[in-house]
Amino acid sequence: MNAKQRENLRLLILTALDASKPYAVEIPTLRPGLPPAFRSLTDCDLWAEIEYLVEKGFAAPQGKPLSPENSQWKITAAGRDFLATEGLA
């Protein structure tokens, strides 16, 4: 994946998180909403990009006390602000 594709993937993930608010999203829920070119990415690939968004403050993990292995994420205020300034929200 080149730099532009990676940027597009991050934007797609962020807009998917925004569209799902106020709910959190798991990777299996996120995958069908991606364009076909990105659906073949592994869970590890998607996890890495989501973690990048977490590190940037655009997404936040949502703990699941009963099944913590089923990670979920939500968009943050900083993520919503970023999409708004880019004209994507």
CATH of the domain at 61: 1.10.10.10
The pLDDT of residue 8 = 95
Question: How many domains are contained in the chain?
Answer: 1
Give 3-state DSSP helix, strand, coil % of the chain, rounded to 5: 55, 10, 35
Q: Residue 89 pLDDT more than 80?
A: no
pTM score, whole prediction:
0.89
Measured between alpha carbons, how far is 28 from 42 in angstroms, rounded to an integer? 11
Which residues does 72 contact at the CB level (< 8 Å), separation at least 6?
A: 24, 25, 26, 61, 62, 64
The residues facing 61 across adjacent strands are 73
At residue 66, the pLDDT reads: 75
Q: Which domain holds residue 50?
A: 3-85
The residue-averaged pLDDT of 73-83 equals 96
Give the pLDDT confidence of 6-34 residue by residue, as tens digits: 999 999 999 999 999 899 999 988 888 88
Return the residue matching tokens 């968004």.
53
Q: pLDDT: is 64 or 60 the higher one?
A: 60
Mean pLDDT of 47-60: 96
